[in-house]
Amino acid sequence: RMAQNGTTENGVTGANGDGSPPMPFPQPVKVQEIRHTKIFINNEWHTSLKGKTFQTFNPATGVKICEVEEADKADVDKAVKAARAASQRGSPWRRMDVSSRGRLLHKLADLMERDRALLAAGFPPGVVNIVPGFGPTAGAAIARHMGIDKVAFTGSTKVGQLIKEAAAKSNLKRVTLELGGKNPCIVFADSDLQLAVEETQKGAFFNQGQCCTAASRVFVEEQVYEEFVRRSVESAKSIVIGDPLDPRTSHGPQIDQKQFDKILELIDSGKKEGAKLECGGVAMEDTGLYIQPTVFSHVKDHMRIAKEEIFGPVQCIFRFKSQQEAIERANSTEYGLASAVFTRNLDRALSVSAALETGTVWVNCYNALHAQAPFGGYKMSGNGREL
């Protein structure tokens, strides 16, 4: 699992944090028979009213998995009608007391625990521990099971804008938008350099870079720049690429062909605009939508790879001279989701954190998320807070 209680656990020990025995490391997941491809409404499976379906493919092999029923407006209306009925006085859900609802949530948690390896298939090692142990109160069920562990992040600013426009035309609906980012990390010369390398790369390559908090801009103070790049390249080359259903794999395929092509096009733009490709930057020769972990050095702020959200395994490393310069360049973006500061100086950590225009600032770590701390962005990274 990822960053529960401010730490990142790799899943090998399965430490639960409560003294209980570690969970066994899961075996490679077998692709199971697809049983449910219909639309789930009111506790029943339905076919699309217009008969629409869409194909879904395994990005590791390119093989078609199945066809899934595609909901249209009429199907959504049916689902909304069922939800409204469930919330009316006298409905079975409204008549159910809190403890009974809690038991249902515990049952859901047990089922998630049972199938955790299958649910986490394709994510990096450690995400298999999706469901930690419950506390004694059922009231914590939703927060503990549905909120504390961010397994994957997706966000599109364009889609968010469309949602806001639609909401504005529809009875002033309250909308929370958690969207994209072009997230900066600032590495000062006094930092623990190896820690900074490891954390920024986890931020850059988690889930193949398909993460709205991806650490895609790394600003490194010039005194340690060359050493940071050298260590980053060495680290990137050690990443295990392979079958996403094998828990030993830490780098799998991109989600689909469209995203795969977009990432390679942006990598090509980086090379053409003068950034130095240190490693990776190409697709794997085997089948599937694999792109090697990619590191660019000597990246300039005007380049496309410095400005656009790549949503792929691309780490861009910039050089800076002064603290004020780093802050100004880090803030020079339309996004404002997350950032990080690496330094041994507490005063610097606090002052730089206060100056960064992002919803979250991590200090000497990355993607460390708490259920008790709000999460969300500024500017084009969205509005509202989760957790």
Partners of 184 in beta bridges: 217
The answer to whether 8 and 126 are in contact (CB under 8 A) is yes
Q: Pick the residue with more confidence: 241 or 24?
A: 241
Mean pLDDT of the chain: 84
What is the Cα–Cα distance from 184 to 136, expressed in whole angstroms? Answer: 39
pLDDT at 249 over 60: yes
Residue-wise pLDDT for 90-135, tens only, equals: 999 899 999 999 999 999 999 988 888 777 766 665 555 444 433 3
**pTM tops 0.75:** yes
CATH topology of domain 4-147: Aldehyde Dehydrogenase; Chain A, domain 1 (3.40.605)
What is the Cα–Cα distance from 283 to 259, expressed in whole angstroms? Answer: 13
Residue-wise pLDDT for 52-99, tens only, equals: 999 998 888 888 989 999 999 999 999 999 999 999 999 998 999 999
SS3 sequence, the chain? CCCHHHCCCCCCCCCCCCCCCCCCCCCCCCCCCCCCCCEEECCEEECCCCCCEEEEECCCCCCEEEEEECCCHHHHHHHHHHHHHHCCCCCHHHHCCHHHHHHHHHHHHHHHHHCHHHHCCCCCCCCCCCCCCCCCCHHHHHHHHHHCCCCCCCCCHHHHHHHHHHHHCCCCCCCCEECCCCCEEEECCCCCHHHHHHHHHHHHHHHHHCCCCCCCEEEEEHHHHHHHHHHHHHHHHCCCECCCCCCCCCECCCCCHHHHHHHHHHHHHHHHCCCEEEECCCECCCCCCCECCEEEECCCCCCHHHHCCCCCCEEEEEEECCHHHHHHHHHCCCCCCEEEEECCCHHHHHHHHHHCCCCEEEECCCCCCCCCCCECCCHHHEECCEC
pLDDT at 277 over 50: yes
Residue from 335, 352, 304 nearest 186 by CA: 352
Q: Which of 33, 67, 70, 178 is catalytic?
A: 178
Residue-wise pLDDT for 163-213, tens only, equals: 778 777 887 778 888 899 999 999 999 999 999 999 999 999 999 999 999
Residue from 190, 189, 191 nearest 222 by CA: 189
Model confidence at 23, pLDDT cuts 50, 70, 90, reads: low
Numbered ranges of CATH 3.40.605.10 in the chain: 4-147
Model confidence at 298, pLDDT cuts 50, 70, 90, reads: very high
Numbered ranges of CATH 3.40.309.10 in the chain: 178-383
CATH class for the domain made up of 178-383: alpha beta
Instruction: Name the least confident of 13-22, 135-144, 169-178, 227-236.
Output: 135-144
Specify whether 113 is catalytic: no
pLDDT at 230 over 60: yes
- What are φ and ψ of residue 212, in 5° steps? -70, -20
What is the Cα–Cα distance from 39 to 79, expressed in whole angstroms? Answer: 9
Residue-wise over 249-261: b if at least 16 C-beta within 10 A, else e? bbbbbbbeeebbe
